[in-house]
Amino acid sequence: MKYTQDNEWVQIYEDGKTALVGITDFAQQELGDIVYIEIETLGEEINSGEIFGTVEAVKTVSDHFMPVSGTIVEVNEELEQNPEAVNDDPYGKGWMIKIELGDQDHSSLIDSTEYSSLIGA
């Protein structure tokens, strides 16, 4: 699993062509109780750093950014009825999107040690 400085995680499949994306445990704790997730970018090609969706929590609404460029090929539909899955299981049932990776370097992603250092864990 790789991470971004914007608190997203990326799980690249063994095929190297697809990945799951979600927000980190740290991010969900900072947001608080998540009540709604909006992702209307299914089928769209989105560049790294562009917004792919928003998360509404009791305290705030937060935009979420693509960690790498790619096309969104699947959205976790379970989150429509159960957005709190992101709070309960951010790395499992709380995944947000599945993407087909674009042809780019993923060197901007960081490993778990670098991410832990970034968030002060």
pLDDT band at residue 106, thresholds of 50, 70 and 90? Answer: confident
Instruction: Output the CA torsion 84→82→15→104 (10° steps).
Output: -60
Query: Chain centroid to CA 98: how far?
Result: 9
Stated pTM of the model: 0.92
What's the pLDDT at 103?
75
Buried b (16+ CB within 10 A) or exposed e, 67-94: bbbbbbeebbeebeeebbbbbeebeeeb
**Using one digit for the tens of pLDDT, what is the confidence trace for 39-73?**
999 999 999 999 999 999 998 999 999 999 999 99
What's the pLDDT at 115?
93
What's the pLDDT at 16?
87
What's the pLDDT at 2?
95
Please count the other Cβ atoms lying within 10 Å of the Cβ belonging to residue 61.
12
Percentage of the residues of the chain whose pLDDT score is greater than 70: 99
Encoded amino acid at 99, one letter: I
Encoded amino acid at 4, one letter: T
Highest mean pLDDT among 1-10, 89-98, 102-111: 89-98
- Mean pLDDT for all residues in the chain: 93
pLDDT of residue 96 exceeding 80: yes
